[in-house]
Structure 1
């Protein structure tokens, strides 16, 4: 497969997954703020949303204050924000259009219709009337495209590059959501409201559709340690970091076809094994925030090596956002202009 084609396929699914994750975070925070809260708490919640995507700086450049209307508009509709839902849906569609011959008509029509319906719904003012309905629609369209992909495509290199893009994005976002949301809980630890942490923790699980999975696995009260264990280490749940890395390891083994000269494949296997052998007590003992920062940095390192070995440099208009930067200081917008290094072609099957 040509590296240009692989590049489009990987970023097509990364953008689709990113749009879904953005909708999940906005939906969870919006629902949480339907409970009684202070203005200070509401601002803290929306600031956390921007922090997850490293967009505090770009947001501040366009808006004077943080409130639900401005943040939802910026993260959903604003075309100057390359990580907005609208920008991601458009980028997924453009990447799909560039490689129509490597997928099939059903997948192209799904992504194209998603873009057309997204434009229509936003123009009709759905964010002002029913933002939760819009977020649910974004999730359902992402699920539909994934279902078409898994249910109709041949299991060739094209299919596996699509899986790779989705798993990279999911691992990165799950770590960021857990990191920022738990940090927010710590900042609100002095609240007098009874069971306040419970609502925060269920919001974290809501961001990744994990509440029912949590109840199935633990059948007990929601605690920070168990939430962290589910999102980090539980391999049988597809949105966990461990599951995403396990899928990456399998996909890389397929794409390299047993070659031993792929550093990206070795790094994916190493990260997967570390999570497989991980212990939540040891992770929390060493500092969860430190662990998650390191994980995000290593996932971005893996994405960079995949770019070197398989993909092409960024193409304007197709790749509006690159792999996000590691978040030690959560530098606002620092991930937006990174360029992938020059790659080589992937041998065809």
Structure 2
């Protein structure tokens, strides 16, 4: 496969996953903002800003926090590189460039979503319609994955799509855990802790999974352990890294294979570490180290497979 084709598939998948993750984060933010609080809602409103690192850009464009401004900024504002609108546009551009490597069903799922996205942007998004919009973005992402799994050959194209999806998902889950940890440390109230943990699980569609695994009330260590170490949870870091390793094995490489070396080291840490040993120096420190490892892995994948030789 040509490196530019692999790059188009990889980045198409990353942008689609990024859009879905942002819809999930905004949905959580909306739920948290409806909770009764003693003071300001700023902590809840900061969740998507901290998640994407766009605090300064938001303040420059909007000045102060309101839910309506926040939803527009992250949903449809083309001035925000991290908006759902821009993510889908980038995904569509990459998909269009590699259309020959996609099935007609996969292309149609992306193209029809992009057409509807532009119509939604023309109409605008109200706070009342935010929940419906977030659900729609998630449903369209599910439609893309269903078409991909159901119609694409199990070859290099599928591998690069899966690697892009899973690498973006693992980074997103780690950032979400990091931001949630900061929220819990800022406000140790037990009631707020419960709602933060509950919304975190709902953000990654893991509320039912938690009940099935632990069969007890929500505890921070249990939630974090499930989303980091439990391989049966499809959005856990362990699950994502393990599947990336499988996809890289299918692609293979000649000569030095830096991506497979890095993913093997990372997978070994997740597979053989206990929760206590993993967080000995603090959960936040470990998450920061994990994100650095993901960045190093992404750069090695780019240099090995995606850059023209």
- Quick one: structure 1 residues 56 and 126, their matched pair in 2 at CA, closer, same or farther if it must change by over 3 Å? closer
Instruction: Check whether the contact 2:245–2:264 (CA below 8 A) recurs between aligned residues.
Output: yes
Aligned counterpart, 2:126: 127
1:277 positional shift = 1.1
1:275 positional shift = 0.6
Superposed CA RMSD:
1.3
Aligned counterpart, 1:305: 300
* Correspondence 1:222-233 to 2 at 5 A: 222-233=218-229
C-alpha distance in 1, partners of 2:131/2:228? 27
For residue 204 of structure 1, the aligned residue among 184, 197, 200 is: 200
* Correspondence 1:183-262 to 2 at 5 A: 183-189=182-188, 191=189, 195-256=191-252, 259=254, 261-262=256-257
1:160 matched to 2:159 = yes
1:282 matched to 2:282 = no
Instruction: Check whether the contact 2:19–2:84 (CA below 8 A) recurs between aligned residues.
Output: yes
C-alpha distance in 2, partners of 1:75/1:282? 37
- CA displacement, residues 285-327 of structure 1 (integer Å, 9 cap, x when unaligned): 3200000000001101100000001113xxxxxxxxxxxxxxx
1:111 positional shift = 0.2
C-alpha distance in 2, partners of 1:281/1:58? 38
Aligned counterpart, 2:141: 142
Aligned counterpart, 1:54: 53
1:22 matched to 2:22 = yes
C-alpha distance in 2, partners of 1:273/1:292? 16
- CA displacement, residues 317-340 of structure 1 (integer Å, 9 cap, x when unaligned): xxxxxxxxxxxxxxxxxxxxxxxx
* Correspondence 1:7-18 to 2 at 5 A: 7-18=7-18
Instruction: Check whether the contact 1:233–1:242 (CA below 8 A) recurs between aligned residues.
Output: yes
C-alpha distance in 2, partners of 1:217/1:260? 42
- CA displacement, residues 134-169 of structure 1 (integer Å, 9 cap, x when unaligned): 000000000110110011000110110000000000
Alignment coverage as a number of residue pairs: 309
Aligned counterpart, 1:335: none
Determine helix, strand or coil for the equivalent of 1:285: coil
1:39 positional shift = 5.2
C-alpha distance in 1, partners of 2:112/2:39? 38
Unpaired runs of at least 5, structure 2? none
Judge which range, 285-294 or 115-124, deviates more: 115-124
C-alpha distance in 2, partners of 1:198/1:96? 40
Aligned counterpart, 1:6: 6
C-alpha distance in 1, partners of 2:38/2:12? 40
1:67 positional shift = 2.3
- CA displacement, residues 29-69 of structure 1 (integer Å, 9 cap, x when unaligned): 101222212551x1111112201111112112212112212
Determine helix, strand or coil for the equivalent of 1:234: coil
Judge which range, 43-52 or 241-250, deviates more: 43-52
Instruction: Check whether the contact 2:67–2:127 (CA below 8 A) recurs between aligned residues.
Output: no
Q: TM-score, normalised by structure 2?
A: 0.97
C-alpha distance in 2, partners of 1:43/1:230? 28
C-alpha distance in 1, partners of 2:285/2:48? 19
Q: TM-score, normalised by structure 1?
A: 0.86
1:92 matched to 2:88 = no
Determine helix, strand or coil for the equivalent of 1:198: helix
C-alpha distance in 1, partners of 2:276/2:64? 39
Unpaired runs of at least 5, structure 1? 313-342, 345-349
